[in-house]
Structure 1
Amino acid sequence: MRRFIALSLSWLVLILGNLPVQARPRAPQEIRLATPPASGQQKTKAVPAPKRKPASRAAEPPEASARLEGFDAFVEQAMKDWKVPGVAIAVAQNGKVILSRGYGFRDIKNQLPVTPKTLFAIGSITKSFTVAALARLVDEGKLDWDKPAREYMPSFRLYDGVASEHMTPRDLVTHRSGLPRHDALWYNSELARQQMVERLRYLEPSKDFRSTFQYNNLMFLTAGYLAGYVAGTSWEELAQQRIFAPLGMQSSNFAVSASQKSSDFALPYKNAKEGAKEEVKEVPFRVIDAVGPAGSINSNVEDMAQYLLMYLNKGKHGETQVLSESNVTQMTTPQMVSPSSLRYPEIGHASYGMGLGINSYRGHKMVSHGGAIDGFTALLSFLPQDNVGVVVLTNLESDRNSLPGILAYNVYDRLLGLDQVPWNQRFLEDQRKSDQSQAEAKQKGFTTQKKGTHPSHELKEYVADYEHSGYGIVRIGMDKGELTLTYNRMSSPLKHFHYDIFETPANPLDALEKTKVSFFTNTEGDIGSLSIPLEPAVKEIVFTRLAERGMTDKAFLQKFIGQYEVGPNIVSVSLRGENTLILTLPGQREYELVPKRGTLFELKGLAGFSMEFKLDTSGAVSEAALYQPNGTFVAKKKQQQ
């Protein structure tokens, strides 16, 4: 499965120097941008390099104005190089917004410009808002950073019992739960926030509690749910009242449905590169309301500039102390060491505070967080000791978009009076080399595929629903003679790869692209389960085959009720409730019969034991076969007198 870019750790990619491995070729003089298909045909439209719009600029000190001379041209060239349709930027220095400007287009087809009021998804920058909401509760004495979450929310439970008992609000927002991402659980899911929290107990950790930094969106979802639980409201209402309102963030919201009611919102785009072909295409908005505390906020640079100024002013906005200085200090103080590539000498060792990353840029302390959700990439970054910060919002997906970090670095170089580091050229060259490496591997035919193999069963035998207690249901279907995979409302064809392993096709616009599915045969010779590498840090996630639909209907089960002769013994089958068959053996406890397929049921809790009912030509049950490891027995149904 394609690594979900939603809510990714892009503050590392954009700010801390850990660059993505995808290639980044230089753009031609015109940006080839896709437009919606007309009359069933996909057409493209050549769009000239975006022209900058009139600035919305506060009165600048002469020195700042001089140092930003040429910045507009730099932005426009970098946008062209990265094929970014639209960008909005705000720069703050010494308590003032010195630049607030839109570049390019929020809507390519209709040539609608980006303005400082244009709404973009900010992705994982939302995490700092969730911590800020929790901080307000701490300031009000309603929450303690270091008390176990279960003291506030007794139902909270994880796979690891130690983590369940000792996890604190601070742990939830510092990526040290022991859990890897497990993003596939929530991505495009219909589950409600509470349901996701309840499923955490089924997700396997990959590290010991508090031992390792592992980015995790689900813990921030839980932190937001906890905040609402403690406040007696929702996370959204809490953040609206405690953060948005005092900062005057009147345009910001928590759902794409709210953004789409605005008269000025950006459409999402992706650079859909396939081989030498490269095209920017509009993609659907991704609804992630349930995982909102980890990344659902939408905002513009006017609002985000006020949020930035609050941090630069140690939690104060105007005359209002929105966050206590103590909590701002904790948010911007390292809590966990995080991965650092140290590839470039300008970038220091990385750490993570509470909802914000901490690093250094050319010897200056830097606090930042990126945001990446389908079709959008964003960045909040500031140098607290220099009283300068930047917000960059773009409407191009992050897998081929390093623009936010490039622009932030360039602003810092200019305002700090430093020589400008050629970040744009560096990152473009990194992208080119990565593209070249992938193209070479494809050209040489490098693959793990074993040629000339075949599936073990007819394709129709794989068709079923399969379930994991945490991840939910995977549906394998059949369409036009080939298998299909459906998960979390996303569907894709399944092509045979080798043996009993199938794979979805390559498609840069499909989150399921290149997903491998392994099927497993049980002792009865049936396909009994499948596994998918949804989380690479743990073993493949195993989904167990569910019973065929209708096997739990009362009318279907009633025909099996009765007594059966097994040699000299009598066993009975009865119905408990509306849909549970019970097998009673002489001198033994009762066993639940779990439906599998057709008229085959397994004895719950006994591996290798099952009962298959046999029907005569009239459809009535005449006998049953009892399968067990030491043999097979015939159970004749006794006729009712």
Structure 2
Amino acid sequence: MRAAKRARLRSSSSRTRAVSGLAAALAGAMALASGALAQGATATPSPPPAPKPPPAQPPPQLTQADVDGAVARLDGVVRSMMKRTGVPGAAVGVVYKDRVVHLKGFGKRHIGRPGDVGADTVFQLASLSKPVSSTVVAAAVASEEDTAADAGTVTWDEPVTPHVPGFALKDPWVSRHVTVSDLLSHRSGLPDHAGDLLEDLGYDQAYILGHLRQEPLAPFRASYAYTNFGFTAAAEAVARTKGVSWQKLSEDTLFEPAGMDSTSTTFADYEKAADKAVTHVRTADGTWQAKYVRDADAQSPAGGVSSSATDMMRWLRLQLGNGKLDGRQLIDAGNLEHTHLPQIVSQPPTAPAARTGFYGLGWNVGYDDQGRLRLSHSGAFDLGANTNVTMLPGEQLGIVVLTNGRPVGMADAVALDFFDTAQYGKPTTDWLPVLAGLYEQEADVGKSPVDYADPPADAKPARADSAYTGTYHSAYYGKAVVTTDRNGLVLELGPKPMRFRLDHYDGDTFSYVTAGENQVGPTGVGFTAGDDGRATSLRVDYLDEDGLGTFTRG
């Protein structure tokens, strides 16, 4: 899963979908699907004593007929939602009791070119990478029975900072104590999506992890904020403790043993796949185009995995089989179960009778109205991908939905519709507009309230260009250079650098149109001038949510 716009809908802020893809908002939607929110509850003074509860009854199990009915409906649901949304392609698979009971591709890999989506078509998973990566970590950490103390042993409570060069957090005590579990469950205190804007500007993983120490911290282990690069730091720590790269660890512990031959953590492997679904976005005229390329290598464990529906079925069987696949115990059952346990409250209840949402280790963790564990995760790239996995481990039932279109709710809605049908015989609601509305709300969060295309009637003139040109510095974002071309002022940001035209708005305020996964449309750039009329600093609005967006002339 500004897939990743930080999703305030999921107790996050508004920067990206890379990731995450409406984690807590989707958890809330699933609570609705399970009848978890009370309607019109009222308090009664001096209630009578509660009757003695009846003996606990196990929740009713799904039957083969229940699952068959949901599977029979699935193709029609997918085709209908593709028609309603225009999403170009999808691949869907279902596992029940260790059998793949549905596996099919739909639509096109690339609009305007030949090639249909099939079960073996490779998709970018976005934040669906997180539960895949936590599976890798579960295979790498020591089991409860393993007490060996050799140099390659790593545990869930392994401190991360010693293993990742340059990585630290703002508070030295937190830096010393933050563990693999803390970062995989987003409870480190880092701000929501910390580091994502550095990635958008072109900085690599080493730079980003080395600058998270400048981010302000919320209370450690007492606050949830979804952080792709915090998650990445934990995974990298595990790999480095083992003395290998993250890709090598993933291949050795999961992809190769599980027969996931089309799965990789590198963008290069995705790019060279002959049978791949490219990302698509919906343009202003309503058509879908393959307009952007999303390279997520910097946050590979959190959002950079690519895979096919065929491979994801093997991973889903492994998950539902408690680490066993084709008769072989590939991952310690206790370690895998540990990833499914709640680690932090991700969505507090919104009403007295509402259900709480939790985050585990790479999983959204919830419980339905019958008390059954329900695990899910969405993935979303604003630049053109949306994915979902949902499963009821106790029923040995799970679904994976992969799409190659910008998030419009389809992947999540297909999963919700499927589980509704299996559990209740029919959908409890039309989930597509519900999820589409949530994604649209998320897309609007972070956009400037100022209409920079329409300067005020009494706008003050700008100073001469020479008052603004020069080099400015930020300890977090690096160098910003203001220069000119034949059209006026240009702002250069990032290591490449990226060039943005500055349009005058009012006085010392300009704007430019943001770009990348976390783009929010136009954003303001305000210069502060000294007594000599020359700018001494500039502040970029959308880079300043955590107070780090000011650059000082140097």
Residue type of the alignment partner of 1:215: Y
1:220 paired residue among 226, 231, 234 = 231
Match of 2:9 in 1: none
Deviations 1:154-187 (A, max 9, x none): 7542222221121111111111121112344432
Deviations 1:459-518 (A, max 9, x none): 232223322222222333323333233334543322222232222248899936222212
| Correspondences of 1:85-234 after superposition (within 5 Å) | 85-139=88-142, 142-153=153-164, 156-180=167-191, 181-205=193-217, 207-234=218-245
Alpha-carbon contact 2:25-2:438 (below 8 Å) kept: no
1:258 paired residue among 260, 269, 282 = 269
Q: CA deviation at 1:243?
A: 1.0
The answer as to 2:89 corresponding to 1:83 is no
The answer as to 2:477 corresponding to 1:474 is no
1:485 paired residue among 470, 488, 491 = 491
Q: CA deviation at 1:307?
A: 0.9
1:386 paired residue among 364, 379, 395 = 395
| Correspondences of 1:248-287 after superposition (within 5 Å) | 248-273=259-284, 277-287=285-295
Give ranges in structure 1 of 5+ residues lacking alignment: 20-59, 547-641
Match of 1:502 in 2: 510
Change beyond 3 A, Cα 1:540–1:533: farther
Q: CA deviation at 1:299?
A: 0.5
Alpha-carbon contact 1:175-1:219 (below 8 Å) kept: yes
User: Distance in 2 between the 1:162 and 1:256 partners?
Assistant: 35
Match of 1:396 in 2: 405
Residue type of the alignment partner of 2:242: A
Match of 1:239 in 2: 250
**Structure whose CA Rg is larger:** 1
Please say which of residues 329-338 and 141-150 is displaced more in the overlay.
141-150
Alpha-carbon contact 2:70-2:419 (below 8 Å) kept: no
Secondary structure, counterpart of 2:106 in structure 1: strand
Alpha-carbon contact 1:532-1:540 (below 8 Å) kept: no
Match of 1:460 in 2: 466
Secondary structure, counterpart of 1:212 in structure 2: coil
Change beyond 3 A, Cα 1:451–1:173: farther
User: Distance in 2 between the 1:109 and 1:88 partners?
Assistant: 19
Q: CA deviation at 1:297?
A: 0.6
Match of 1:513 in 2: 521
Structure of greater relative contact order (alpha carbons < 8 Å, 6+ residues apart): 2
Superposition CA RMSD, Å:
3.3
Considering fraction of residues, name the structure with more helix: 2
Secondary structure, counterpart of 1:107 in structure 2: coil
Q: CA deviation at 1:526?
A: 2.0
Residue type of the alignment partner of 1:410: D
Change beyond 3 A, Cα 1:536–1:529: closer
Please say which of residues 86-95 and 499-508 is displaced more in the overlay.
499-508
Change beyond 3 A, Cα 1:213–1:291: same
User: Distance in 2 between the 1:335 and 1:448 partners?
Assistant: 47
| Correspondences of 1:415-454 after superposition (within 5 Å) | 415-424=422-431, 426-427=433-434, 430=437, 450-454=456-460
Change beyond 3 A, Cα 1:152–1:283: same
Residue type of the alignment partner of 2:72: E
Residue type of the alignment partner of 2:22: S
Deviations 1:6-49 (A, max 9, x none): 22343334443299xxxxxxxxxxxxxxxxxxxxxxxxxxxxxx
Alpha-carbon contact 1:516-1:532 (below 8 Å) kept: yes
Residue type of the alignment partner of 1:80: K
Change beyond 3 A, Cα 1:139–1:68: same
Q: CA deviation at 1:97?
A: 0.9
Residue type of the alignment partner of 2:308: N
Considering fraction of residues, name the structure with more strand: 1
Match of 2:359 in 1: 352
User: Distance in 2 between the 1:513 and 1:67 partners?
Assistant: 41
Q: TM-score scaled by structure 1?
A: 0.70
Alpha-carbon contact 2:467-2:535 (below 8 Å) kept: yes
Q: CA deviation at 1:368?
A: 1.1
Please say which of residues 293-302 and 124-133 is displaced more in the overlay.
124-133
Secondary structure, counterpart of 1:226 in structure 2: helix
Match of 2:45 in 1: none
Q: TM-score scaled by structure 2?
A: 0.81
Change beyond 3 A, Cα 1:72–1:170: same
Q: CA deviation at 1:362?
A: 4.9
Please say which of residues 157-166 and 422-431 is displaced more in the overlay.
422-431
User: Distance in 1 between the 2:389 and 2:269 partners?
Assistant: 22
Change beyond 3 A, Cα 1:184–1:173: closer
User: Distance in 1 between the 2:436 and 2:521 partners?
Assistant: 26
Give ranges in structure 2 of 5+ residues lacking alignment: 6-14, 32-62
Residue type of the alignment partner of 1:474: A
Q: CA deviation at 1:432?
A: 11
Deviations 1:98-146 (A, max 9, x none): 1011111111101421101111100112122332333233226511222
Residue type of the alignment partner of 2:207: Q
Q: CA deviation at 1:306?
A: 1.0
Change beyond 3 A, Cα 1:465–1:506: closer
User: Distance in 2 between the 1:18 and 1:453 partners?
Assistant: 49
Alpha-carbon contact 1:97-1:305 (below 8 Å) kept: yes
Residue type of the alignment partner of 1:128: P
Deviations 1:204-236 (A, max 9, x none): 33x122221011111112112212210111111
Alpha-carbon contact 2:164-2:236 (below 8 Å) kept: no
| Correspondences of 1:27-42 after superposition (within 5 Å) | none
Q: CA deviation at 1:349?
A: 2.4
| Correspondences of 1:274-313 after superposition (within 5 Å) | 277-313=285-321
User: Distance in 2 between the 1:515 and 1:281 partners?
Assistant: 25
Match of 1:607 in 2: none
1:12 paired residue among 24, 32, 35 = 24
User: Distance in 2 between the 1:432 and 1:367 partners?
Assistant: 20
Alpha-carbon contact 2:185-2:361 (below 8 Å) kept: yes
